[in-house]
Structure 1
């Protein structure tokens, strides 16, 4: 393991663990020998101290720590000293390797440690014989299994965090793409139609062509201003331009005038008492109207449009209808376009409902209901 991956807190904790196990070894080894009827020798406590103190570097150098602890523990057992707290140091060393190293590396290291520990079963001052192999194996298998479980859980948590970060990033990219699509798509559609009008009238009625070019200039400036506001909101590290209003239903008159300049008369009908809306609802309602009217510009042909706003106590209903071509030939291809999908996602994110299809008198109808209490 890279030693730089452990912080000071981990190093202090490991040092404390080493000192605690050292104290347990110095205090508990003698009584363990008495209980087993086995005495201690000159090398007993030095080996206990080496095995315990090596754990101070267990997370910085897990393989080296396991090697030192295994050597000390094996020598301890081969010399015939009693089973005691030194085995706790060995357990911690095996656990650390399993918890902080890749599975293959940890398995090889654990196997080598087990083989070394089993030496005392057949060789030593007081070899326990094959009956001692099972307890010795348990001191490797159990901490290895626990360490592997901890490592897998930690890796799963890390993957979940990465997946969540990726999901949030994707959602943010989709939101930005939707905003830019609505702003740029509407502006370009209006400019395109106004440019066609100017080209058509340039030779015969230059004064009307001039009016269309003036409308193009105004529309492009408004679209750029709105795009600038949108991008400023996205880039939260920069201060928003207080002079530029955030997109909302308050800009509906400008939108209506822009469409009228492009040759699509728009009627706005309001039912209920207009009031200040939550920012998210205000933006969503405006974008639904804007994208619906953009679709009228692009696909409806010669048509008029009606925007209806119905304010209720707990919801706002937005409806846009037109007298143009129906949905069969509207998009030029079967199935809903990106604009309709974007509107549906925008409304659905606020807990509202969205429908689009043939209008009651032909043409096309878009309707969105946005709850006010949940979004407030």
Structure 2
């Protein structure tokens, strides 16, 4: 209810202007009938009939207020001029007769730049103060004259306060709209990032297990004719590979299901599971060597998962593109960095398969590895080696600082 009443004048501005003009015209005409009396009970009394001249001047000033929004400077000049003429006709310039000038001062301060309003308000007050002396020269300062000047100054101050409040509310509204847009953009960005993360996880899981299952199936098919006992063991490993793939897929896809939020998920892989990962590739026929330099130190969960996934994807690429090439996995711990390198001795590959360089990383596998490294504050380099084979090297921070010292970078 309060909000409805406060917005009513804005919704019926023309009615308010007409009512204000009629009221001010009537008050100014009434003031022409008054005069001050002397004595202990001094005060205004009615001494004459209404003046047609004052009525005409007050009507002009009041009607001018109907255009106070479009031409506030002109309206103030007209209202002030009418007040001056009223004083020149011998009538007292009071709050009632100068009411139109006060409304014009308020309008000027509200709809014109504050600097103009601060200059025009005291000028109008000074002009009306001088005009008040046409009626009576002494005493110099009376209550009526002080009231006129104070009324004009208060009208200017009220206009400035109203303007500041309007600007404040407009700023709050703009800030709320900006915050709403920012929340929507942030929500869309988070959804996009989550989609990329899930797609990256699914790619790593599917690519790794499918490549490993393909290698195991091919080996089993080869051994089935000559060494059926070993072929049976390879088929058992193939079943374990597919089961592990299904478990990891269920754990990843289960994050998308609300009703599975309480279901137990597989633990997040990390470097502590690296021996099992290398053993799975070795059972598929790959020769892998592991070297660790420096004292192993714990990583953040994100960096730990990133290191594991990069090694997994790099070895999967070796399986898919380099055949039976041998691979070397190196972990180098320095003061602030963990450097992970996966190098194979396979032949040089076609440019459309493995032509990526440090400045041009393409292919979903390498793009995913690069995104993983950057997401935890690291960086990744991938490219062909001059003497054949391919190398993937990533540097991951061990501490919270995302930017390591140059002296801690290892090659």
Does TM, scored on the shorter chain, surpass 0.5?
yes
Query: For each residue in 1:306-337, what CA deviation from the matched residue of structure 2 results, as whole angstroms up to 9, or x when unmatched?
Result: 11112223221111111113354572777621
- Displacement of 1:176 in angstroms is 1.6
Aligned residue number for residue 3 of structure 1: none
Aligned residue number for residue 179 of structure 2: 157
Task: Confirm or deny: 8 A CA contact 2:303 2:376 kept in the other structure.
Answer: yes
For the pair 1:54 / 2:77, whether they are aligned, the reply is no
Task: Confirm or deny: 8 A CA contact 2:69 2:111 kept in the other structure.
Answer: no
**Whole-Å separation in 2 of the counterparts to 1:330 and 1:300:** 14
SS at match of 1:219: helix
| Unmatched segments (≥5 aa) in structure 2 | 29-64, 79-95, 114-162, 403-411
| Unmatched segments (≥5 aa) in structure 1 | 1-10, 19-52, 59-63, 84-112
For the pair 1:363 / 2:393, whether they are aligned, the reply is no
- Counterpart of 1:313 (choices 317, 335, 354) is 335
**Whole-Å separation in 2 of the counterparts to 1:235 and 1:355:** 36
- Counterpart of 1:71 (choices 15, 26, 36) is 15
What does 1:1-376 correspond to in 2, within 5 Å? 15=2, 54-55=5-6, 58=7, 66-68=10-12, 71-72=15-16, 74-80=18-24, 136=107, 139=110, 146=167, 150-231=172-253, 238-239=261-262, 241=264, 244-329=266-351, 331=353, 336-359=362-385, 361-374=387-400
**Whole-Å separation in 2 of the counterparts to 1:234 and 1:135:** 61
SS at match of 1:274: coil
Return closer, same or farther for 1:190/1:371 CA change in 2, 3 Å cut-off.
same
What is the TM-score when the length of structure 1 is the normalising length?
0.63
Aligned residue number for residue 6 of structure 1: none
**Whole-Å separation in 2 of the counterparts to 1:137 and 1:156:** 31
**Whole-Å separation in 1 of the counterparts to 2:273 and 2:102:** 87
**Whole-Å separation in 1 of the counterparts to 2:256 and 2:272:** 21
**Whole-Å separation in 2 of the counterparts to 1:212 and 1:328:** 31
- Displacement of 1:285 in angstroms is 0.9
Deviates more, 1:345-354 or 1:326-335: 326-335
Number of residue-to-residue matches in the alignment: 289
Deviates more, 1:185-194 or 1:233-242: 233-242
Task: Confirm or deny: 8 A CA contact 1:187 1:223 kept in the other structure.
Answer: yes
SS at match of 1:355: strand
Aligned residue number for residue 99 of structure 1: none
Task: Confirm or deny: 8 A CA contact 1:321 1:364 kept in the other structure.
Answer: yes
- Displacement of 1:235 in angstroms is 6.6
**Whole-Å separation in 1 of the counterparts to 2:401 and 2:282:** 32
Rg larger in structure = 2
**Whole-Å separation in 2 of the counterparts to 1:271 and 1:255:** 19
**Whole-Å separation in 2 of the counterparts to 1:353 and 1:67:** 61
Return closer, same or farther for 1:230/1:273 CA change in 2, 3 Å cut-off.
farther
What is the TM-score when the length of structure 2 is the normalising length?
0.59
SS at match of 2:261: coil
Task: Confirm or deny: 8 A CA contact 1:117 1:136 kept in the other structure.
Answer: yes
